[in-house]
Structure 1
Amino acid sequence: MSEILLEGRALGVHGEGVSIAPVDFSLARGGRLTLLGETGSGKSLIAQAIMGTLPSGLAASGELTIEGQAYAAAEGATRRALWGRRLALLPQEPWHALDPTMASGAQVAESHRYLRGLGRHRAREAARRDLVGLGLVDAEGSLPGELSGGMAQRVAFAAASAGGAPLVIADEPTKGLDAPRRDAVVRLLAATPQRGGALLTITHDIEVARRLGGEMILLRRGRVVERGPAERLLSAPRSDYAKCLLEAEPSRWPAPPPPPPATAREPVVEARGLTKWRGGRALFRDLALSLRPGEIVGVVGPSGCGKSTLGDLLLGLTGSDAGEVKRAAGHRLAFQKLYQDPPAAFSPHWSLARLLEDLVRRHRLDRTAIAPLMTRLGLDRELLARRPGEISGGELQRFAILRVLLMEPRFLFADEPTSRLDPITQRDTLALLVELARERHCAVMLVSHDPALIERLCDRRLVLGQGEAALASESLDAQAV
């Protein structure tokens, strides 16, 4: 059997405004290859070309060799028999990979049954071990919609990897995860090459690329900018773009300007004695907070600690077990949410142009605001003709930001709003979000797993989870467990 598990020769993607220049690569047993680059650079399209799952209107070119067997890249259907058993994809969007009507444990067990041939009882035991190993001991009986985005991401990881395929493609496998969970997933990914398989990882997270090591290809606008050993490329990059990418890590952002002076404006939203229980445990207890116009408050904590639930409480989307929330009077669109997983917030059946037009007509918004916001968010107008599933996750995330800004909210709960963006686009997008919030006197509660990002952007910080009860402000107290 060949020592080369995966080889691509002049692999490219083209069609409908997309052009990924031909690229060569190979992965031997025990090998690791990481595709790093900006949002929309073609990283995920390369993975889809390998799997044979490119969206309609796009076509692959070149040749692939998988475990010694040659395939024409254009003939995607020829590789379907390999899915799960020889070739596994850990998808970027867990909602595209999970059945919303099936319990999480059952979905992982199903992979063990039909891909590994285990009996029903052994498959359930294997699924339970997988979930425990990923810190999901309480998620076995939960539906995907009852989990946080980070928890759903780990369930999708367990289901996709259960078949033990020697070739694993991981597309943004750690987005939305706190540092300990991210490192745990990196260790699990590394297990594939350690047991003689090969790993192809797609990420915009520089720290993930650094920890995985191996070879790296840096992409920008569908072209290879630089390639080589990860250790060399991330410590002594040669291209200007690679240097800019490293400088855009949140830990290297300049110190933030001081917050605007306090004003006499009434709070946009207040909470007193807020308590929420889930699964027999308190996510937070007796929490008190107050946000004023133009204020940016960061929320941090491990996946599943209740950050998204807190936002839903403040927005009136769910009820609390104790306490009360007071919202300032205003127009009915004043309280908005940026969802952690944009695919869950967009209809997949219509073009983005149609979705935006429907929003403008339904709420009588200013249609002329769309073009300048697209420019400021770095979105090409050609994307308007596509449906949400036909653009990158980072592009869809910026469309979500555009859509919510059109409604000129007074309070915005931004739940990991840049988790799919590369460091450069993330820095620029968040700077714009903060700038517009200050201009429009919109209070923002910003959720992130990156403490450095919160430190650089926010006026105050709220910490949830694991018994911590900390807030970097004398006027905002919280108790969380």
Structure 2
Amino acid sequence: MSQDMLLQAQDIGVHAGAQTLLRELSFSLRAGEVLTILGESGAGKSLLADALMGNLAPGLTATGEVSVRGTRSAASDTRARRALWGHQIGLLPQEPTLALNAVRRVGPQLEEVLRLVRKLPPGEAAGQCATRLSEAGLDAAAAQYPWQLSGGMAQRVVATMALAGGASLLIADEPTKGLDTHWRDHVTDMLRRVAAAGGAVLLITHDLRVAGALGGRMMVLRGGELIESGTTADVLAAPREAYTRELIAADPAHWPVRAAPVTGMPVLRARGLAKRFGERRLFAGLNLDLHAGERLVVQGPSGTGKSTLGNVLLGLLKADAGEVIRAPGLAATALQKLYQDPVASFAPSRSLLGSLQDAARLHGEAWSAVEARLAGLKLDACLLARRPHQVSGGELQRIALARVLCARPALLFADEPTSRLDPISQRQALQLLGDAMDETGAALLLVTHDEDIARVFGQRLQRFTGEGITT
């Protein structure tokens, strides 16, 4: 075997009993190469990553053979590949909150990687920890717990940890979701440096800008099968398959601008709101009105208080000053949130069907209406028998959208609701969300880093900066 061959995957398949979820895939990665896996949510991209890592969920089995730097093992031999974690093969997982220990501060977790995987002495590990977090714009994060971080900050913490072990083969599963343009480009450059230093990157992404920037080769999956492959430049410029053309054409940059809604009376008023975290002021003296039917988009860098504002408006966090005034007569459940990390909003041991049925029963929603919503989101009913961790992040986010609409909210706070979705699913989900808001006259507070989504979907824009907010 060539010295520069870092990964060989031979006939990799994933099965749930008699059902095949991922059909046999074969490919290789040499030093300096980037291979991008593209496809809509549920296509099998994350299943492939988990099979290569030896980290499939219970009930799933892998077939085929994996070779990492010449160390061969059956795809089903999870123990053999787990011995390579960190120092030979690294994973930047799709759900950063699940990769971090919620009861330990960020700094000690990164130091542990540097001590146990890189074998650095404690003093050097502490110094490198500070340096790496600073490079990622996370100087204050060392003393924080994961639950104190924004979604984008958590994503950058996990990216820093994944690279800290020094693995030459890195699997990056949606590494830039939920990041603003600056930090998306920062992570893209981190991945580029891995390949330039003689490593290899297997990239799973919905972001065509990241795929194009990294170049290399591309494989397009649909329904667990390979439908097209080639150089990234060729596939993006001249896709052969109709599905690939549809996927590329569905990028938000190509969407038509959604018509402005008819707005009504105020649903919520905020007066003089202020909030700090430690010594940092997120906002102060904030006045805001949200009217029925209105679509307000909030944008700004990660960690500047966008999610915090939404949580204060919903009553999930208490403001340091000011007040939030709801319209009279609103039900206690009239203000709802669609979470950025959907897995944290579902009961882990309950089936998705059970969670949806609970929501429908609680809010008096006909089950036929829920089924119609799921069909509109192109979700297979067989997914509902699974638990939250057994479906893709994009599938779970669409199920979360179907569930929250059962409450018929007067105000929906949607926190990066499409960051886990491929362009086709993004378009379907936002179409359903916009139609539901127009039909019910609900107000929408949408947090997104995607400038194109903000442009085509929003009616009013509020920007957060590191120094507060601008309108």
The alpha-carbon deviation at position 163 of structure 1 amounts to 0.9
Where does 1:226-375 land on structure 2 (aligned, <5 Å)? 226-257=228-259, 259-262=260-263, 265-328=264-327, 329-375=329-375
Q: Please say if residues 262 and 293 of structure 2, whose CA atoms lie closer than 8 Å, have aligned partners that are also in contact.
A: no
Aligned to 1:161: 163
**Residue of structure 1 aligned with 2:149, choices 144, 147, 150:** 147
2:103 is matched by which residue type in structure 1? T
Number of aligned residues: 468
Q: Which moved further from structure 2: 284-293 or 86-95?
A: 284-293
- Aligned counterparts of 2:367 and 2:333: Cα–Cα separation in 1: 16
The alpha-carbon deviation at position 468 of structure 1 amounts to 6.7
- Aligned counterparts of 1:167 and 1:29: Cα–Cα separation in 2: 9
The alpha-carbon deviation at position 467 of structure 1 amounts to 3.8
- Aligned counterparts of 1:67 and 1:276: Cα–Cα separation in 2: 50
- Aligned counterparts of 2:56 and 2:37: Cα–Cα separation in 1: 17
- Aligned counterparts of 1:357 and 1:220: Cα–Cα separation in 2: 29
Aligned to 2:136: 134
Aligned to 1:443: 443
1:457 is matched by which residue type in structure 2? F
The alpha-carbon deviation at position 425 of structure 1 amounts to 0.7
The alpha-carbon deviation at position 350 of structure 1 amounts to 1.4
- Aligned counterparts of 1:356 and 1:425: Cα–Cα separation in 2: 20
The alpha-carbon deviation at position 51 of structure 1 amounts to 0.6
- Aligned counterparts of 1:369 and 1:248: Cα–Cα separation in 2: 27
- Aligned counterparts of 2:138 and 2:194: Cα–Cα separation in 1: 21
Q: Deviations over 1:32-62 (max 9, x none)?
A: 1110110000000001110111112221111
Aligned to 1:31: 33
What secondary structure, in the 3-state scheme, does the structure 2 residue paired with 1:290 have?
strand
What secondary structure, in the 3-state scheme, does the structure 2 residue paired with 1:50 have?
helix
- Aligned counterparts of 2:70 and 2:261: Cα–Cα separation in 1: 62
Aligned to 1:88: 90
Q: Deviations over 1:403-430 (max 9, x none)?
A: 1001110000000011100011101110
The alpha-carbon deviation at position 19 of structure 1 amounts to 2.3
The alpha-carbon deviation at position 249 of structure 1 amounts to 1.2
- Aligned counterparts of 2:344 and 2:74: Cα–Cα separation in 1: 34
Q: Deviations over 1:279-322 (max 9, x none)?
A: 31221222211111111111100100100000011101111122
Aligned to 2:12: 11
Q: Deviations over 1:331-365 (max 9, x none)?
A: 12100000110111111111111222333344544
The alpha-carbon deviation at position 76 of structure 1 amounts to 2.0
1:376 is matched by which residue type in structure 2? G
What secondary structure, in the 3-state scheme, does the structure 1 residue paired with 2:219 have?
strand
TM superposition score normalised by structure 1: 0.95
- Aligned counterparts of 1:397 and 1:348: Cα–Cα separation in 2: 15
- Aligned counterparts of 2:142 and 2:266: Cα–Cα separation in 1: 40
Aligned to 1:404: 404
2:30 is matched by which residue type in structure 1? A
The alpha-carbon deviation at position 241 of structure 1 amounts to 1.5
TM superposition score normalised by structure 2: 0.97
- Aligned counterparts of 2:21 and 2:279: Cα–Cα separation in 1: 51
**Residue of structure 2 aligned with 1:68, choices 30, 46, 70:** 70
User: Identity, % of aligned pairs?
Assistant: 47
Q: Which moved further from structure 2: 458-467 or 13-22?
A: 13-22
Aligned to 1:423: 423
1:410 is matched by which residue type in structure 2? A
What secondary structure, in the 3-state scheme, does the structure 2 residue paired with 1:82 have?
coil
- Aligned counterparts of 2:443 and 2:257: Cα–Cα separation in 1: 21
Q: Please say if residues 281 and 468 of structure 2, whose CA atoms lie closer than 8 Å, have aligned partners that are also in contact.
A: no
Distance 1:261 1:439, change over 3 A: closer
Q: Give 5+ residue unaligned stretches, structure 1.
A: 472-481
- Aligned counterparts of 1:393 and 1:448: Cα–Cα separation in 2: 17
The alpha-carbon deviation at position 330 of structure 1 amounts to 1.3
1:213 is matched by which residue type in structure 2? G
What secondary structure, in the 3-state scheme, does the structure 2 residue paired with 1:426 have?
helix
- Aligned counterparts of 1:175 and 1:414: Cα–Cα separation in 2: 15
- Aligned counterparts of 2:257 and 2:347: Cα–Cα separation in 1: 39
1:127 is matched by which residue type in structure 2? C
- Aligned counterparts of 2:357 and 2:244: Cα–Cα separation in 1: 38
- Aligned counterparts of 1:289 and 1:246: Cα–Cα separation in 2: 37
Q: Deviations over 1:195-253 (max 9, x none)?
A: 11111111111111111111110111111121111111112222211211121111111
Aligned to 1:476: none
CA RMSD of aligned residues (A): 1.4
Aligned to 1:461: 461
- Aligned counterparts of 2:429 and 2:420: Cα–Cα separation in 1: 12
Distance 1:96 1:469, change over 3 A: closer
Aligned to 1:478: none
2:192 is matched by which residue type in structure 1? A
- Aligned counterparts of 2:85 and 2:95: Cα–Cα separation in 1: 17
Aligned to 1:54: 56
The alpha-carbon deviation at position 18 of structure 1 amounts to 4.2
- Aligned counterparts of 1:360 and 1:104: Cα–Cα separation in 2: 38
Verify: 1:391 aligned to 2:387, yes or no: no
What secondary structure, in the 3-state scheme, does the structure 2 residue paired with 1:224 have?
strand
What secondary structure, in the 3-state scheme, does the structure 2 residue paired with 1:186 have?
helix
